[in-house]
Amino acid sequence: MIEKRNFYINGEWISPAATNDFEVINPSTEEPCAVISLGSQPDTDAAVAAAKAALPGWMATPVENRIALVEKLIEVYASRSEDLAQAMSMEMGAPIDMARTQQSGAGVYHLKNFIRAAKAFQFERPLGDHAPNDRIIYEAVGVAALITPWNWPMNQITLKVGAAAISGCTMVLKPSEQSPLNAMIFAEMMDAAGFPAGVFNLVNGDGLGVGSQLSAHPDVDMISFTGSTRAGTAISKNAADTLKKVHLELGGKGANVVFADADEKAVKRGVLHMMNNTGQSCNAPSRMLVQRPIYDQAVETAAEVAAKVAVGPALEEGRHIGPVVNELQWTKIQDLIQKGIDEGARLVAGGTGRPEGLNKGYYVRPTVFADATNQMTIAREEIFGPVLTMIPFDTEEEAVEIANDTPYGLTNYVQTQDGDRANRMARVLRSGMVEMNGQSRSAGSPFGGMKQSGNGREGGVWGLEDFLEVKAVGGWATE
């Protein structure tokens, strides 16, 4: 078992102010795999103070130099990618092959996209030809607290750290206590890349402790949080007294609208997308809306595909899904599957309990419900597990109404070979992202949602802008 008790503050690994041990559980075995210390108020204060002290120097560092350090970080990342994959597989249950490609690979992907965006970004620019003595200056928001989740750890850490670093912000990272080991490796990487002391700091802790302390801290200028809508609401309230900037990337209940003219792989693609990362993705296509002429066949296909999804231990190589992250999540998912049965949805694949042959570990059976209505609990709540809910519809207008009838608005999906219809749907679906016919968003595309899925955008130029303030200057001296 790994023991990691130190925090990275002001360029040094230091011991916590008080011993508050937390066991990290391997969800494949239900056994402890690491012990960390959760931070207290003095730890939070020390990290914020280090970031505040480093801010003037880091803001004054030419952006070219900040970009160069992120480029160095990418080099270091390549040398530690296997370490990151092993850590994430063990602590949050990503199958090792998937951890190496998707989980670890996401980090370097985002860092490269930020560098591309930053090199083309005008941090100082004229207002316009009509105002030769006006300038617009983009400068760092200040000290940014970064609170990241367990389900896509490196994806979220790099989306925040990369943008904040290039923008000139200094940082305090609080990773999820459920998956802290990859974040501690990342802190070692930041140190090896040569970031100045205090620019990046890491304090482990839980939401009620370090998370709340950062949200309310008077010397924190911005909170960037990814996690549940419930926690996002609490953070917003906690941050209100200091009027700090709050960026929220929260939950989702995406609709995957499959029209009768969808390509023949659309249903299978949707099921496998739902099951990826064991359903633990905020942008998962968890509601499959199917036009009635192909509905019965779609249900049959979905059931067959789900039945073939293998489930197994995270550290075993191969194409399978792993466990969900912990007992709390497993129990919640079981309760929601039972709720779907009780409310009258038709169970066509999976169900409650562990998959056959897996008696230990937080494994969930890949599950598909058919004949649901959009008012059922399984269609309203974010399950965050490998559970798909299928709902029939007749017309395009009905599909839009069902898809938008949710408090969430992160990602929706459209499957049709009618280009005009696809574009119409993209315009009327109330979500921050729409993906069509299996075409994912391109490099540098903004990630974020509407309604209770949050605010702000991550990735590319929009991710940089989230960590920047806009300063208008009149009377700029010109040659």
Q: Which residues of 42-69 are buried (b: 16+ CB within 10 A; e: fewer)?
A: ebbbbbbbbbbebbeebeeeebeebbeb
Alpha carbon 380 to chain centroid distance? 20
- Coil, strand or helix: which one is 395? coil
Radius of gyration from C-alpha coordinates of the chain: 23
Please tell me which residue in 177, 249, 382, 458 is annotated as part of the active site. Answer: 249
The residue behind tokens 């609709």 is: 255
Catalytic entry in 91, 169, 177, 282: 282
- Is 249 tagged catalytic? yes
The DSSP secondary-structure symbol of 261 reads T
Pairing of strands 131-140, 124-128: antiparallel
**Bridge partners, 246 (sequence order):** 223
Q: C-alpha angle 169/175/177, rounded to 5°?
A: 160
Task: Report yes or no: 157 and 173 within 8 Å, Cβ to Cβ.
Answer: yes
Q: What tokens appear for 443 in the block? A: 């490099």
Residue 386 parent element (H or E): none
Q: Are 223 and 214 in contact (CB under 8 A)?
A: yes
Rounded to whole angstroms, the Cα distance separating 374 from 345 reads: 11
The 10 Å CB-count burial string (b at 16+, else e) for 203-218 is: bbbbbebbbbbbbbbe
Query: Could you give the residue ranges of the DSSP H alpha helices within 229-294?
Result: 229-239, 266-275
Residues known to be catalytic: 249, 282
